[in-house]
Amino acid sequence: MVTDLTEKQAREKILDQVSEYYIKYHVKDEYKDGDRISYAARIYDSQELINLVDSSLEFWLTSGRYTNRFEKEFAEFIGAKYCALVNSGSSANLLAFMALTSPLLGERAIGKDDEVITVAAGFPTTIAPIIQYGAIPVFVDVTIPQYNIDITLLEKAYTKRTKAVMLAHTLGNPFNIKAVNEFCHSHNLWLIEDNCDSLGSKYYYNGEWRYTGTIGDIGTSSFYPPHHMTMGEGGAVYTNNSFLSKIIRSMRDWGRDCECPSGVDDFCGHRFDRQYGGLPLGYDHKYVYSHFGYNLKATDMQAAIGCAQLKKLPDFIQKRKENFTFLYKNLLGASNKIILPETEKASDPSWFGFLITCSDARRNQIVEHLENNRIQTRMLFAGNLLMHPCFENMKRNAKGYRVIGDLVNTDRIMRDSFWVGVYPGMTEAMLTKMVNCIKDQI
């Protein structure tokens, strides 16, 4: 019973019990041959559970002290001035893109029918916001075995309507940021880095190593469980541009003009003394809207888990790199039969997975063999997004998107590529089993 305790003592008692609960019910047995080898999993200890329960006991629920802490610490980690926590990586992409449509950006705002250069080999919600808004995604091919944009096609894709480039760093492998950024600067375009699969990847830029997601105008992250760190559902949008940050926060928080944090009134001291739009002088600033926004905030419970995960992130990144290297070294002898992934120049990837391209239409056979041996596999998400039912209507009308050349490599990825995991929970026994099973079938 906790009735005779102070609130602080009661909380401590509960949190001690949470620690015990974690040890008794959450600590897993070591991997044995025959166990399933998943491509990714949450890695956590009692601290994530403690933070989660601590936050739920407070019952603040919406963004609060853990959110503030997470946004500050995440921004410090990644080297961005501003970070906004959101409820998913897809929401992060939506928000990043929509921020660039803000009328406050004047001529640089992305408008309907403006074009955004991207690739079709990837995850659908990198592209969905472009289409949903009514802008035109312009698809170019990727290279194999880097699986990133073919930068030689950038100029071909450019028209007077091009306003932005929006790309993911595929499975942790940074795209050629130098070339893409130079292209963007030369045409005055925005660059959104979808960093959802590459948290912790670095790129050598202007004489220093920088985290991906911080070199373009806006970067995005996902904290869905398979990703580099998790809070269940969650995402982040980050930038070094204070004006963009203001727009991002406005659009995340219902489109409002005011910057009061949740539960705070009159943060700026001018709640009732200004005039906006056609509103009467003194209209409550809390209810003044400078954008047509959303509510994309995460809960403080998610942020609480994120604060604990962030402390583990450097180790997670290191382990992912080691696991990738193990697979690479042990599969190198088979590189005449399968195409191994190649790190982009000037980069230090924090890998999300180990991507393989097969020859002779053997992909499905190899994948089946791995799955039969309880090794989980994944495709490069959509393969070629244009081949999916969601594109059928647009194809019928032959409008709403453009394709530059033929997407030969994108199609090949759809047919011949798959990936296996390198998440930090993998042991040498698991990795060895994966190597042997792949070698069995090639």
Q: Would you name the residues annotated as active-site residues?
A: 227
CB 183 → ligand PLP: shortest distance, Å?
21
In angstroms, the CA 180 to CA 175 distance is 8
Tokens 């056979």, residue located: 365
Token readout for 276 is: 């906006």
Q: Kindly tell me which of 123 and 183 has the beta carbon lying closer to ligand PLP.
A: 123
CB 194 → ligand PLP: shortest distance, Å?
5
Cis peptide before 349 (omega within 30 of 0): no
Token readout for 74 is: 């995440």
In angstroms, the CA 4 to CA 93 distance is 49
Q: Are strands 347-348 and 82-86 parallel, antiparallel or unpaired?
A: unpaired
DSSP 3: T
Contact between residue 200 and residue 213 where contact means Cβ atoms under 8 Å apart: no
Q: Kindly tell me which of 80 and 382 has the beta carbon lying closer to ligand PLP.
A: 382
- Give the residue from 39, 43, 37 showing the smallest Cα distance to 430: 37
Contact between residue 72 and residue 336 where contact means Cβ atoms under 8 Å apart: no
CB 224 → ligand PLP: shortest distance, Å?
4
Q: Kindly tell me which of 168 and 215 has the beta carbon lying closer to ligand PLP.
A: 168
CB 88 → ligand PLP: shortest distance, Å?
4
The 208-211 sheet, strands edge to edge: 208-211, 202-205, 347-348
CB 352 → ligand PLP: shortest distance, Å?
8
CB 289 → ligand PLP: shortest distance, Å?
26
In angstroms, the CA 59 to CA 87 distance is 18
Q: Kindly tell me which of 63 and 126 has the beta carbon lying closer to ligand PLP.
A: 126
Residues 6+ away with beta carbon under 8 Å from 259: 246, 249, 267, 268
**Tally of CB atoms within 10 A around 145:** 18
Residue 116 φ/ψ, nearest 5 degrees: -130, 120
Helix ranges, 123-164 (H): 124-133, 154-157
CB 160 → ligand PLP: shortest distance, Å?
29
Is the Cα dihedral 74, 80, 82, 85 positive or negative? Answer: negative
Q: Could you give the dihedral angle defined by the CA atoms of residues 399, 405, 409 and 410, in that order, rounded to the nearest 10 degrees?
A: -10
Which single residue brings its beta carbon nearest to ligand PLP?
89
- Give the residue from 155, 228, 190, 179 showing the smallest Cα distance to 347: 179
**Residue 176 Cα distances to 165, 382, 422, angstroms:** 13, 22, 23
Q: Kindly tell me which of 122 and 293 has the beta carbon lying closer to ligand PLP.
A: 122
Residue numbers at the binding site for ligand PLP (CB under 6 A): 88-90, 93, 122-123, 125-126, 168, 194, 196-197, 222, 224, 235
Cis peptide before 145 (omega within 30 of 0): yes
Burial of 118 (0-12, 13-18, 19+ CB in 10 A): buried
Q: Kindly tell me which of 123 and 190 has the beta carbon lying closer to ligand PLP.
A: 123
Q: Kindly tell me which of 50 and 174 has the beta carbon lying closer to ligand PLP.
A: 174
CB 26 → ligand PLP: shortest distance, Å?
23
Q: Kindly tell me which of 261 and 425 has the beta carbon lying closer to ligand PLP.
A: 425
